[in-house]
């Protein structure tokens, strides 16, 4: 009888405990469901990015040598040899081309013959002058004869001097038959071929000197002031991650009649041998000193009797109100100079109805 009375009581205890556990579990589920039923508000955001108030402007240009000389023979003649090719590096004094020297040698020989003849005439005239002086001292000749002997001797001296200069000129002309490089550089063009007859001064070889290189670009007239007073840098298409400091060296005094732009040359003092001539470059112009600002939608600004502020969204979806420094207002944007960090996300729409205690969810677009 005792066993039978204990079993029903124990069963009732188990049932009661089970019911209690079931109630607790249901209460926990209801709490989780309630949490899931609370929706996070979708918001559009704008990313803060600071940049120069006056945006930089870029122009495409080419790398050129600062000095590129058109070299030619100083005497006319027939080209005998061309000793260089395009792209070849030449040193100071290296021969580039030669002319046929036959006529020049004949002229040199003729000048030397005239020099020998002038020397003989001068010796004879000088001897006659000396005799005339001796005879005049002894009274055996007249002053007129002495003056004539002096004049003849002076003329012979002048002819000898002219013959000497003629010999020097013909020697120079003979040396000019070989065109030599006047500096170290690279050949950029060859404009003569063997057998071609050239005139004095006609361009034969074009040589770009090794040394300072420059970027040549066309600048519109609206940016002439920035080109003269601002800062410039150059990047190469073949080396986009490296910048070279650039300095304005020359700007055209008049605009190109077709493009209405001004040709500007910026020197590149840091450009080495790996910066080849003819490379494509990008020149960037910026103002010398300008404030860095960020432009954000005007709808993102929150101001209700206090300082202008933005709602900043963090990675957890929580928002915080941060005051900002406003520089100016535009038609659709507000320009700020500080208050929020670079890369921060601010709520762009509906800030007047945003509850700071409510979590938000960043979306790319809103659908209604």
The pLDDT of residue 292: 82
Token pair of 213, please?
């290189």
CB 68 within 8 A of CB 207: yes
3-state helix, strand, coil in the chain (%, to 5): 35, 35, 30
Find the helix or strand (DSSP H, E) in which 117 lies. Answer: helix 102-138
CB 101 within 8 A of CB 78: no
pLDDT in tens, 21-61: 544 444 455 444 444 444 578 888 899 998 877 667 889 99
Domain 57-65+210-286 CATH (choose: 3.40.50.300, 3.30.1950.10, 2.40.30.170, 1.10.3720.10): 2.40.30.170
Domain 102-175 CATH (choose: 1.10.1390, 1.20.1070, 1.10.287, 1.10.3470): 1.10.287
| Per-residue pLDDT in tens (0 to 9) along the chain, 368 residues | 444 444 444 455 444 555 555 444 444 554 444 444 445 788 888 999 988 776 678 899 999 999 899 999 999 999 999 999 998 999 999 999 999 999 999 999 999 999 999 999 999 999 988 988 888 888 887 888 888 989 999 999 999 999 999 999 999 999 999 999 998 999 999 999 999 999 999 999 999 988 889 999 999 998 888 888 888 999 998 888 888 999 999 999 999 999 999 999 999 988 887 888 889 999 998 876 667 888 899 888 888 777 899 989 988 888 888 899 898 888 888 888 888 999 899 998 888 888 778 888 888 776 65
The pLDDT of residue 143: 85
CA distances from 92 to 183, 188, 273, 342 (A): 4, 16, 18, 55
Domain 75-99+178-208 and domain 102-175 have a common topology: no
Cα–Cα distance measured from residue 193 to residue 18, given in angstroms and rounded to the nearest whole number: 110
Cα–Cα distance measured from residue 283 to residue 289, given in angstroms and rounded to the nearest whole number: 18
Cα–Cα distance measured from residue 316 to residue 300, given in angstroms and rounded to the nearest whole number: 20
> Using CB atoms within 10 A of its CB, is residue 68 exposed (0-12), middle (13-18) or buried (19+)?
middle
DSSP string, 256-278: -TTT-EEEEEEEETT--TTS-TT
Going from N- to C-terminal start, the domains of the chain cover 41-53+291-362, 57-65+210-286, 75-99+178-208, 102-175
Smallest Cα–Cα separation from 287: which of 60, 53, 92, 90? 53
CA distances from 337 to 285, 322, 327, 328, 351 (A): 22, 13, 6, 9, 20
Token pair of 98, please?
């030669």
Token pair of 31, please?
């709490």
The pLDDT of residue 368: 52
Question: Would you say how long the chain is, in residues?
Answer: 368
The pLDDT of residue 7: 40
CATH topology classification for 41-53+291-362? 2.40.420
The pLDDT of residue 6: 42
Token pair of 218, please?
């066309």
Highest CATH level, class, for 75-99+178-208: mainly beta
CA-CA-CA-CA dihedral for 276, 278, 284, 289, to nearest 10 = 60
Token pair of 212, please?
């300072």
């Amino acid at each position: 009888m005792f066993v039978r009375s204990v079993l029903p009581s124990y069963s009732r205890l188990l049932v009661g405990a089970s019911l209690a556990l079931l109630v607790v579990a249901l209460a926990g589920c209801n709490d989780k469901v309630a949490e899931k039923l609370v929706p996070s508000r979708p918001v559009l955001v704008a990313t803060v990015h600071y940049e120069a108030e006056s945006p930089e402007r870029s122009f495409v240009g080419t790398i050129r040598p600062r000095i590129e000389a058109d070299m030619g023979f100083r005497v006319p003649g027939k080209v005998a040899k061309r000793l260089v090719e395009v792209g070849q590096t030449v040193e100071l004094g290296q021969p580039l081309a030669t002319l046929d020297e036959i006529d020049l040698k004949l002229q040199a020989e003729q000048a030397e013959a005239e020099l020998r003849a002038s020397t003989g005439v001068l010796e004879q005239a000088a001897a006659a002058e000396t005799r005339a002086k001796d005879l005049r001292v002894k009274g055996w000749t007249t002053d007129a004869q002495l003056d004539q002997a002096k004049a003849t001797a002076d003329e012979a001296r002048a002819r000898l001097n002219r013959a000497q200069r003629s010999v020097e000129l013909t020697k120079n002309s003979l040396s000019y038959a070989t065109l030599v490089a006047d500096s170290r550089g690279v050949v950029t063009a060859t404009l003569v071929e063997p057998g071609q007859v050239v005139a004095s001064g006609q361009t034969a070889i074009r040589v770009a000197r090794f040394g300072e290189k420059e970027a040549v670009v066309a600048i519109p007239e609206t940016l002439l002031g920035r080109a003269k007073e601002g800062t410039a840098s150059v990047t190469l298409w073949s080396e986009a991650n490296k910048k070279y400091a650039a300095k304005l060296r020359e700007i055209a005094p008049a605009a190109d009649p077709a493009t209405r732009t001004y040709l500007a040359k910026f020197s590149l003092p840091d450009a080495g041998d790996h910066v080849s001539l003819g490379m494509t470059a990008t020149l960037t112009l910026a103002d010398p000193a300008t404030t860095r600002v960020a432009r954000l939608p005007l709808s993102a600004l929150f101001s209700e009797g206090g300082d202008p502020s933005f709602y900043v969204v963090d990675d957890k979806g929580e928002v915080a109100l941060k005051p900002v420094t406003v520089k100016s207002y535009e038609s659709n944007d507000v320009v700020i100079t500080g208050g929020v960090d670079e890369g921060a996300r601010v709520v762009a729409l509906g800030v007047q109805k945003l509850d700071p205690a409510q979590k938000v969810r960043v979306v790319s677009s809103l659908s209604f």
